[in-house]
Amino acid sequence: MGNVQSGDKDWDFDADGAVGLDHFQILRAIGRGSFGKVCIVQKKDDKVMYALKYMNKKRTLQKASIRNVLREIDILINLDHPFLVNLWYTFQDEEDMFMVVDLLLGGDLRYHLDKQGKMSVPVVKQYICEIALALDYLQKKGIIHRDIKPENILLDEEGFVHITDLNIAAVMGPDVGQHATAISGTKPYMAPEVYDCVMDDFPGYTFPVDWWSLGVTAYELLRGKRPYEIHSTTSISEVRKMHRNQPVAWPTTWDTSLIELLSNLLALDPGERISNIARMSQEEFMADVNMDAILRRQVKPEFNPPKDHLNCDPTFELEEMIIESNPLHKKKKRLAKQMSRRDISEPEPVKTQEWKW
């Protein structure tokens, strides 16, 4: 598909193979998720470092998640924001599909929350602002993220946040009143109206679901526990009962303006919930915040991730090197062997210019 322009950014969408794995030096594995795995790479020509997300085609087919992967690529091509993870290249080979994105070495908020137990109000306050600015941008693009949670919020080396993983995002069309109806997300962070849709008690949901997730995330970062004890095994009926009957517990040490902000993010009625930057800026808790300065990254983060080590679980690299039957660092030799065997039986292989599954 060649180069694609989006706003002020040049995009390289290389389904035609103009950029491939050979253009990068693989350095080390740093993570995994529902999409596949992530490693640090360096582009050989300009020495720029990136994160490489790669997904095995066969497993993606088996999980019926191809649509999610392609949706994320289609969305990211048209996005460019300081608090999102930006896409630079995509390509594929016979085994895997690859996405080259911003390298963020500060770790995700789940990693830091597990290390620290809970975070200070000034630190979380800036996270709330940066995430809210990104959500406001996505909303203007007609995108519902649907999976805002600490695991999907990465920090760069300076400590600024970047929202990642749009593989289950919903894109709203231009029609006024359009709603999403599928139950998508991570249970503890899903808004009440998402559960209501499942029970046919609500016609659908829109952008306020992401702001509910922001409220849950902020509460968890500050307190070290979520406002509702919801787990993956909690039934939908139990979740709905909690939302209706169980008031959120507010620590007595928290300032009333903070409690008011979080209460308005966790409003059960999406119509009463904070769901844009303009509304959030009216909160007393945000009275001293200059959102324009935050958007321009002029407000330095209160927390700077450690730079003396990678902020991720070190077992990721061990798994890639030892446990994986087909580790990425051995891909070149493995595919070369496969190609030599194929050349014997298929002397004239046909090159494909499109995504092929």
Model confidence pLDDT, tens digit, residues 85-139: 999 999 998 889 999 999 998 999 999 999 999 999 999 999 999 999 999 999 9
Say what the pLDDT of residue 203 is.
87
Catalytic residue among 147, 156, 165, 210: 147
Contacts of 129 (CB under 8 A, 6+ apart): 286, 289, 291, 294
Query: Could you tell me if 158 and 300 are in contact, meaning their C-beta atoms sit under 8 angstroms apart?
Result: yes
Q: What is the pLDDT of residue 336?
A: 56
Q: Where are the domains of the chain?
A: 3-105+310-345, 109-295
Q: Give the residues of the chain that fall short of pLDDT 50.
A: 1-15, 316-325, 340-357
pLDDT in tens, 15-60: 455 889 999 999 888 877 656 788 999 999 999 999 999 988 888 8
Region at 159 (left for phi over 0; alpha for psi -120 to 50; beta for the rest): left
pTM summary value: 0.84
Amino acid 320: pLDDT? 42
How would DSSP label each residue in 174-218? SSTT--B-S--S-GGG--HHHHHHHTTSSS-B-THHHHHHHHHHH
Distance CA 240, CA 244 (A): 6
| CATH entry 3.30.200.20 includes domain 3-105+310-345 | yes
The answer to the question of whether 53 is labelled as a binding residue is: yes
Confirm whether 3-105+310-345 and 109-295 share one CATH topology: no
Q: Decide if 145 contacts 135 (C-beta within 8 A).
A: yes
Is 2.40.50.140 the CATH classification of the domain at 109-295?
no
> Shortest CA distance to 76 belongs to which of 171, 191, 212, 201?
171
Between CA 281 and CA 191 the distance in angstroms is 22
**Interacting residues of 208 by C-beta distance below 8 A, sequence separation 6+:** 191, 193, 270, 271, 273, 275
Active site residue 147: yes
